[in-house]
């Protein structure tokens, strides 16, 4: 085999190895489309029943990873981080709260995140009604202490 052919085969094998073992995209790369980020919450945060129902839904669908206070410390958080390569986000942090619009949170809850086919966060779009997903958004906002 000529050295040119050997070089090409070696380069191709390194490229394939790099693709197979490449670090997954970061959570910062998980962005909602611009039009989704602009969608306002369909429900009022002044209705305490919406937030209360949102809390119940969060406890049913999200607490396992995000924890009861949204700090990313749920009972499955460590196992999830080991398996997926991502720790659940601390939703109570001001920078996280300020960095996400209601529409973006809604979009992420609806669609989930599956980079490279690995489920990092399951989407609830088929399981939870649109109105209830907006209620979860209201509850997530309350984790900071100021519902928007």
Question: Which is it for the CA torsion 117, 119, 120, 124, positive or negative?
Answer: positive
Q: Does domain 26-142 have CATH number 1.10.760.10?
A: yes
Q: 104, 88, 87, 86: which is closest to 141 by C-alpha?
A: 104
Name the residue with tokens 């924890």: 67
Contact 27, 86 (CB under 8 A): yes
pTM for this predicted structure: 0.78
Q: Is 36 buried (19+), middle (13-18) or exposed (0-12) by CB count in 10 A?
A: middle
Q: 134, 76, 86, 140: which is closest to 114 by C-alpha?
A: 86
C-alpha–C-alpha distance, residues 90 and 70, integer Å: 6
Contact 127, 112 (CB under 8 A): no
Residue ranges covered by each domain of the chain: 26-142
Tens of each residue's pLDDT in the chain, 148 residues: 454 444 433 344 434 333 333 444 556 678 899 999 999 998 998 999 999 999 999 999 999 999 999 999 999 999 888 888 888 999 999 999 999 999 999 999 999 998 888 888 999 999 999 999 999 999 999 998 544 4
CA count, 13 A, side-chain hemisphere, 105: 25
Q: 74, 53, 70: which is closest to 129 by C-alpha?
A: 53
DSSP state of 91: T
Element (H, E) at 77: helix 77-84
Contact 103, 38 (CB under 8 A): yes
């Amino acid at each position: 085999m000529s050295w040119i052919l050997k070089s090409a085969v070696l380069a191709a094998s390194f490229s394939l190895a790099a693709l197979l073992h490449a670090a997954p995209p970061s959570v910062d790369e998980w962005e909602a489309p611009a039009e989704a980020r602009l969608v306002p919450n369909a429900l009022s945060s002044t209705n305490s029943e919406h937030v209360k129902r949102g809390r119940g839904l969060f406890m049913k669908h999200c607490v396992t990873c995000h924890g009861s206070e949204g700090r990313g410390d749920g009972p499955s958080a460590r196992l999830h981080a080991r398996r997926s390569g991502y720790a659940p986000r601390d939703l109570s942090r001001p920078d996280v709260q300020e960095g996400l619009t209601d529409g973006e949170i809604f979009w992420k809850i609806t669609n989930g995140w599956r980079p490279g086919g690995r489920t990092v966060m399951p989407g609830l779009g088929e399981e939870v009604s649109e109105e209830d997903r907006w209620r979860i958004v209201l509850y997530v906002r309350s984790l900071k202490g100021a519902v928007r």
